[in-house]
Amino acid sequence: MTPASRAAEAAPPDERTARRRFVTVSFLFWLPAGLALASMVLLLTERGLSLAVVAAVFAAHSLTAAALELPTGGLSDVIGRRAVLACAGVLNACALTLIGLGTTPWVLALGAALMGAGRALSSGPAEAWYVDTVHAHAGPGADLRTGLARGGAASSGALALGVLLGGVLPWLLGLGPDPGARVRAFTSDLVVPLSVPVLLGVAVEIAFVLYVLTALTEPPRPAATLRGVLRGVPGAVAAGLRLGAKDMLIRRILLTAGAAGTALAALELLTPGRAAALTGTAESGAVLFAGLAAAGFVCSALGSQLAPLVARLAGGGERAVLAALAASTAGLLALGATVSATGVPALTVALAGYGLVYLGLGAAGPSENDLLHRRVDASGRATALSVQSLAMQLVGAAGGVVVGVLPAGPLPWLLGAAVLLAGTLLWARRDAVVAPQAGPAPVAE
């Protein structure tokens, strides 16, 4: 590499370019997840797995992601954002290949575990890169909320598009001359119509890795050594945990993430059964749920896009979070209140409540993360995002277990609403000042 090319690599892109690259990376990362989401359970059961084994495969994903969440966040803070994000894409490509082509439980579980590792690696580096880059170009007082909002909208839009494509592609392969049957015969049932969306996700992951390596430029870092990584990662993780323990605002953000995780767990667990009851059969209920999931992601994307406007109208980030979470809580309460009701008015209220939950959570996220990034610097930014993600996963998983054992009816919905209301009320008392960092955040350690 010539000195001129090294200088170009070190120069941070301007805010608009950084925002565009962050949005593109967010979209490319979540599109494969959406493609796989629509057909995953049906694909695994078609491979001969029982629902209990499917649950175990999903557990391999969740446990791996939770176990690696903090170490991988620390790794990003030590060796750089681009390398960790590219590794996440490679692991996800391998995982989707195993899931799309695998026919035995252990291969499918390995694919799920690799996907969990990729999910943990991806938790924070792209957003941390964006914030580091904007700070390096425009200083710590630069606007972050707009870019974070567009990145959140791109992620939700990718999930919505992926769910729709993943649900439609297998159906299209069965039309007319039945190309799906020819694919089965040609591959000896290794590739089935339900695995096509998953394998399409592999191609998107390859494009994601190539884009990350070429577009997410970073200043040169000192060459990482194994001793340096082993020494630096635990320190970064410990610093992230200490930050959450001593900073009231960050602690509030983490508790809110757990409340949001519980609300989403309740929504995802309870909506499929409610859709099946509404349509009369499990199959038609699954189609309705896929449509609802896509609509939810669209509402989340719209909420993210509206986050800067909500913050301006509310008079600040903390008030914006309060208003957005209050809207989500109202949506869950509407769903709980209409469980036993019938008729078009009740259905309309339930659908509006469902969309309101996602709209509010989408609008709250960019303002929460804007507040978070003004409390941490580049040396611990990805770790702080990983702590936030871990709080959402662990509390959401625990809340989901409780929701799952409650008797059917309004109570499970109301429990999710109560937990989210508790998270909302944390923002009723504002901090006096959300001060920006004292100086420009370093981009390289």
Answer for the pair 367, 145: CB distance below 8 angstroms, yes or no: yes
Tell me: do 169 and 297 sit in the same domain: no
Asked whether residue 260 is assigned to any structural domain, the reply reads yes
Domain match, 297 and 211 both? no
Of 224, 251, 268, the one marking the end of a domain is 224
Among 130, 131, 222, CA closest to 444: 222
Judge contact between 91 and 72, C-beta under 8 A: no
pLDDT score of 87 = 93
Spatial separation of the C-alpha atoms in residues 434 and 316, rounded to whole Å = 10
Separation CA 15–CA 369 (nearest Å)? 17
Q: How is 111-145 classified by DSSP, letter by letter?
A: HHHHHHHHHHHHSSHHHHHHHHHHHHHH-TTS--H
Q: How buried is residue 299: exposed, middle or buried, by Cβ count under 10 Å (0-12/13-18/19+)?
A: buried
Q: What is the pLDDT of residues 29-52, one digit of tens each?
A: 999 998 888 778 778 888 888 767
CA 433 – CA 2 distance, rounded (Å): 46
* Cα–Cα distance list, 174 to 43, 170, 265, 281 (Å): 15, 7, 33, 21
Q: What is the DSSP string of 297-342?
A: HHHHHHHHHHHHHHHHHHTSHHHHHHHHHHHHHHHHHHHHHTSS--
Would you tell me the crossing angle of helices 226-246 and 381-405 to the nearest 10 degrees?
Answer: 60
Token pair for 406: 């409650």
Through-space distance between the first and last CA atoms of the chain, rounded to whole angstroms:
21
Q: Which of 224, 243, 263 is the last residue of a domain?
A: 224
Q: Which amino acid is at 435?
A: A
Say if 445 falls within a structural domain.
no
The answer as to whether 272 is a domain residue is yes
Residue 250 domain-assigned? yes
Residue 257's nearest CA partner among 115, 370, 131, 361 is 361
339 and 421 together in one domain: yes
Regarding whether 174 and 59 lie in a shared domain, the answer is yes
Q: Is residue 439, in this structure, part of any structural domain at all?
A: no
Pick the closest to residue 324 from 239, 181, 427 (CA basis). Answer: 427
pLDDT at 170: 80
> Quick one: angle between helices 410-425 and 248-279, nearest 10?
160
Are 190 and 120 contained in the same domain? yes
Domain count across the chain: 2
Task: Give the Cα separation of 329 and 320 in Å (integer).
Answer: 14
Residues 116 and 136 in one domain: yes
Residue 230: inside a domain:
no
pLDDT at 410: 85
What are the tokens at 319? 């008030």
**Containing domain of residue 151, as a range?**
1-224
With residue 57 as reference, give the H or E element that holds it: helix 51-79
pLDDT at 272: 73
Query: Does 207 share its domain with 75?
Result: yes
Asked if 118 contacts 205 with a C-beta cutoff of 8 angstroms, the reply is: no
* 370 and 305 housed in the same domain: yes
Show which of 193, 224, 255 is a domain's final residue. Answer: 224
Distance CA 360, CA 293 (A): 15
Domain co-membership, 197 together with 247 = no
DSSP 276: H
| Domain identity same for 393 and 286 | yes
By 3-state DSSP, what share of the chain in percent is helix, strand and coil, each rounded to 5?
Answer: 80, 0, 20
Total-model pTM: 0.74
Question: Cβ of 209: how many Cβ atoms within 10 Å?
Answer: 18
Residue 86: partners with Cβ closer than 8 Å, 6 or more residues away: 209, 212, 213
440 part of a folded domain: no
- Return d(Cα 80, Cα 445) in angstroms, integer: 9
- pLDDT in the model for residue 26: 93
Residues 421 and 332 in one domain: yes
Largest CA distance in the chain: 71
CA-nearest of 296, 298, 270 to 285 is 270
Could you list the pLDDT tens digit for every one of the 445 residues in the chain? 444 445 445 566 788 899 999 999 999 999 999 888 877 877 888 888 876 777 778 778 877 887 787 777 667 767 778 888 999 999 999 999 999 998 888 999 999 999 989 988 887 788 888 888 888 888 777 888 888 889 888 988 898 898 888 877 887 777 666 666 666 666 666 788 888 889 999 999 999 999 999 998 876 655 554 455 445 556 555 665 666 667 788 889 989 998 998 898 888 778 877 877 777 765 566 567 778 888 888 899 899 889 999 999 988 889 999 999 999 999 999 999 988 877 788 889 989 999 999 999 999 988 998 888 888 777 677 777 778 887 887 787 778 778 777 887 888 899 999 999 999 999 987 654 444 443 333 333 3
Looking at residue 292, which CATH number applies to its domain? Answer: 1.20.1250.20
For residue 294, what are its two tokens? 């896509």
CA 174 to chain centre: 32
443 found inside a domain? no
Q: Based on the domain organization, do 284 and 177 belong to the same domain?
A: no
